[in-house]
Amino acid sequence: MHTSLDDLSLVLGEVALFRGLSPAVIAEAARAAQILSLPKGGATYAAGDRPRALYQVMSGHLKVAVSSPEGGEKVIEILSPRQVFGVAELFGDAVYVSSVEAVTPVVVLAVGRDGIFRAMEQEPCLMRRMLAAVAERQSSIERDIAADCFQSGSAKVVDYLRRLAGSGPAQRPCVVLELEIPKHVLAARLGFTPETLSRIFRELSDAGLIHVNGKQVTLTEKFACQHMARRDEPDAVRLSSRRGGSWFDRGGAGAVAGLAWN
């Protein structure tokens, strides 16, 4: 997709990593940037590729996955609008271990490695932001590992729904969520079969915590009282850290990946 340098500079200026930097620094990065439009199933990069760019999701959803030699796949992350990915890999010589594939049609901003490095040379603040992004990513991975080890299946789904609802008032009588990504992709991300995920949703519905209507899931007042009111308490295995930091914008409530029942 061809985009002018001025338009790319405007887009980059809205990316959390670059926000507030000088026009000269943003222009330097914009010269190495392009906007990619990918269909469902299209790959941003594959395992074994050499890192060449930093990416931000502008629209749509992607999955980050690793595969076994036998063809098995483990989805390790779902990427949503405003999320940045591929940061840490820019600073090493190793190839990608994971692949990133669109699960819906997506538009992705890609900023070439050389442009990133030139911009960092001009603006040390950008380097600090990149390091903060890498550190946040590391913490997120550790929390995900803890959740996989210690949380039950129902707790994982509740945490997912709580993050999807965002950080609004816990006293809201109900929250209606629009779910967008395929059920089997979310199930793979949480480490379930689609049948197990469906069973957990039925159990939550029978317990009066949610109502499911097609692609919409309503979190009831009971859900809010039992779970959202406690979202700010310390918890070693909670996933709420997926909310973005200052420079590594992981997206707001409407940007967290959802699922569609198909």
* pLDDT tens digits for range 6-65: 999 999 999 999 999 999 999 999 999 999 999 999 999 999 999 999 999 999 999 999
Number of H helices, E strands in the chain: 8, 13
Digit-coded pLDDT (tens) for 182-232 = 888 888 888 889 999 999 999 999 999 999 888 889 999 899 888 876 544
pLDDT band for 254, please (50, 70, 90 cuts): very low
Q: What is the dihedral of CA 130, 139, 238, 153, to 10 degrees?
A: 110
SS3 99: strand
**Bridge-partner residues for 84, per DSSP?**
56
**Bridge-partner residues for 212, per DSSP?**
217
Check residue 165 and give its pLDDT: 82
Please list the alpha-helical segments (H only) found in the chain.
5-13, 23-30, 113-122, 124-150, 153-165, 183-190, 194-206, 221-226
Q: Euclidean distance between the first and final Cα of the chain, in Å?
A: 30
Domain boundaries, the chain: 5-147, 151-260
Quick one: fold of 5-147?
A: Jelly Rolls (2.60.120)
SS3 140: helix
Look up residue 77 and give its amino acid. Answer: E
Q: What is the CATH number of domain 151-260?
A: 1.10.10.10
